[in-house]
Structure 1
Amino acid sequence: MASLPLLSTFVSHSSSPSLLPSSSCSIRCLRPTKIHTFTTHSPRRCRSVKRSLAPRSALDEVSVVDPPPPPPPPPSSSGPKPELIDSSKLKLLSAVSGLNRGLAANEDDLRKADAAAKELEDAGGLVDLSIDLDKLQGRWKLIYSSAFSSRTLGGSRPGPPTGRLLPITLGQVFQRIDVFSKDFDNIVELELGAPWPLPPIELTATLAHKFEVTVKKKMISLIKLPLLLRIGSAKIKITFERTTVKATGNLSQLPPLELPRIPDSLRPQSNRGSGEFEVTYLDSDTRITRGDRSELRVFVIS
């Protein structure tokens, strides 16, 4: 039995499974002069030897599958909702249509228009003109003003009345805003009645203003030190400069006429040529403003 040490040495260095038949284990013992073969029929031992040798290649072929991407985050509840904005905008336009820019509005019409405007304001979220100032650029057409229900062209401020007292017919009203030059012009089309057989006189009055965005400031404490923080704002302050009247229609060849400005000392306290309003909704084609006298105005881009 001197070959047993060689037997253990041979088994420990054999790694080829082809030397181990499936039905029996054949172990060859080498000596300098003879080759002895011992065959064992123990399936348990063969099975244990095969188990340690055969699965090695299978363990080397492991496929790696990338994990699935994470699900998209849920939409923010505080951001604008496009579907709700579209439906609210349609509701507002339906509420103010047929009101002749507010001149034909009664108390019930005013309530419906205000409720529809608030719904669109809530759907659009807060307006920050420090970021979206460029959206003001362009010529905007006024389609509704709650102040026109007072039957005066000045709205909640004193102004010439419409109707039978004065033969004045209000035409289209526009706002022309240039965010680069800070020009803010109110353009009003008017028609003045004339004695028969003269035709009515068509005029365009341009009330030129300069505007600025009033940025809010808030005092906060940072590491026990006060800090003045600038935050965005949607308020606009306008300052009156001049009024220009230009005849249109049959008298369009006449040059424009600049009306003299009334001195501030003769103006009433409620109308000193400046004012403030807040932009409560703004996108590429619709704008809602609320004036310093609770005047609601709705504009569309033109």
Structure 2
Amino acid sequence: MLGKAELLDAVAGVNRGINSSPSDRAAIQAAAATLEGRNPTPEPLQASDRLNGDWRLLYTTSRELLNIDRVPLASLGPIYQSICLAENRIYNIAEVNGPPLLSGLVAVAATLEPVSTQRVNVRFVRGVVGLRRALGYQSVAQFIEKMQTTPKFSLLQGLDFSINPERQSGWLEVTYLDDDLRIGRGNQGSLFVLQKV
């Protein structure tokens, strides 16, 4: 599709947005807006077969996510978002690369509340931070299953904490969705470009 290749090219060299210049950000915003104007799935929340599953973040303007890269002796690895509409759940998982045996993980779970055919309210309810090895992390799907079956990880595995959903909430709108690409906009003006895993 015209515009999709341009967007993928624009996001390819900016390391999820960490290395983006103002001109990069302007080009990405323009390419995203072009695609959003040709959205093949105008009611994405009705297209669960397309929306459900694991997505890898290609680009974002969210400083909260990109600031994970500022942890000393660490660099931000892949970031994933997993959507399960049947359970009204969303999971964000960021891999943090560090010295051998010290690679970490930051995961958050949230509930979804559809408010239109494009927008969901998101309420964050749980966070997990720890070393990947101690948490037994192998893959996104495996770890989400582990989060679903483990009410609370032990302190030896990592920090597992409740998040006050009244303080940590927002909304997310799916503005473009096809079989392998999703564009979203958040309540803080953030842009997200994700590719299906």
Tell whether the structures are fold-level matches, with TM greater than 0.5.
yes
Structure 1 residue 276 displacement after superposition: 0.4
Q: SS of the counterpart of 2:103?
A: strand
Structure 1 residue 236 displacement after superposition: 1.3
Gaps of 5+ in 1: 1-85, 194-198, 216-232, 265-270
Deviations 1:32-91 (CA, angstroms, capped at 9, x unpaired): xxxxxxxxxxxxxxxxxxxxxxxxxxxxxxxxxxxxxxxxxxxxxxxxxxxxxx121111
Structure 1 residue 181 displacement after superposition: 1.1
Q: Tell me whether 1:243 sits opposite 2:127 in the alignment.
A: yes
Q: Tell me whether 1:186 sits opposite 2:101 in the alignment.
A: no
Equivalent residues of 1:191, 1:200 under 8 A apart:
no
Matched with 2:54 is: 139
User: Which of 3, 16, 20 is the equivalent residue of 1:105?
Assistant: 20
Structure 1 residue 122 displacement after superposition: 1.1
Structure 1 residue 259 displacement after superposition: 2.6
CA–CA distance in 1 between the matches of 2:50 and 2:24? Answer: 29
Structure 1 residue 161 displacement after superposition: 6.4
CA–CA distance in 2 between the matches of 1:185 and 1:110? Answer: 26
Aligned AA (2:33): K
User: Which of 70, 74, 88 is the equivalent residue of 1:162?
Assistant: 70
TM-score normalised to the size of structure 1?
0.54
Matched with 1:33 is: none
Q: Tell me whether 1:94 sits opposite 2:2 in the alignment.
A: no
CA–CA distance in 1 between the matches of 2:126 and 2:135? Answer: 21
Q: SS of the counterpart of 2:3?
A: helix
CA–CA distance in 2 between the matches of 1:260 and 1:297? Answer: 26
Please provide the CA RMSD for this pair.
Answer: 2.5
Structure 1 residue 277 displacement after superposition: 1.6
Equivalent residues of 1:127, 1:279 under 8 A apart:
no
Q: SS of the counterpart of 2:86?
A: coil
CA–CA distance in 2 between the matches of 1:132 and 1:263? Answer: 30
Equivalent residues of 2:16, 2:59 under 8 A apart:
yes
Equivalent residues of 1:187, 1:207 under 8 A apart:
yes
From the superposition, tell whether residues 147 and 263 of structure 1 become closer, same or farther in structure 2 (CA, over 3 Å). closer
Q: Equivalent pairs: percent with the same residue? A: 28
Q: SS of the counterpart of 1:87?
A: coil
After superposition, where does 1:105-124 map in structure 2 within 5 Å? 105-124=20-39
User: Which of 111, 118, 143 is the equivalent residue of 1:210?
Assistant: 111
Equivalent residues of 2:122, 2:169 under 8 A apart:
yes
Q: Tell me whether 1:272 sits opposite 2:156 in the alignment.
A: no
Q: How many residues align?
A: 179
CA–CA distance in 2 between the matches of 1:177 and 1:263? Answer: 21
Equivalent residues of 1:187, 1:204 under 8 A apart:
yes
Equivalent residues of 1:137, 1:179 under 8 A apart:
yes
Aligned AA (1:240): F
Structure 1 residue 171 displacement after superposition: 0.6
Q: Tell me whether 1:201 sits opposite 2:105 in the alignment.
A: no
User: Which of 246, 260, 276 is the equivalent residue of 2:161?
Assistant: 260
Q: SS of the counterpart of 1:111?
A: helix
CA–CA distance in 2 between the matches of 1:132 and 1:262? Answer: 29
Aligned AA (1:169): S
Equivalent residues of 2:41, 2:47 under 8 A apart:
no
CA–CA distance in 2 between the matches of 1:126 and 1:137? Answer: 14
CA–CA distance in 2 between the matches of 1:131 and 1:97? Answer: 30
CA–CA distance in 2 between the matches of 1:113 and 1:121? Answer: 12
Determine which structure has more spread, i.e. the larger CA radius of gyration: 1
Gaps of 5+ in 2: 137-153
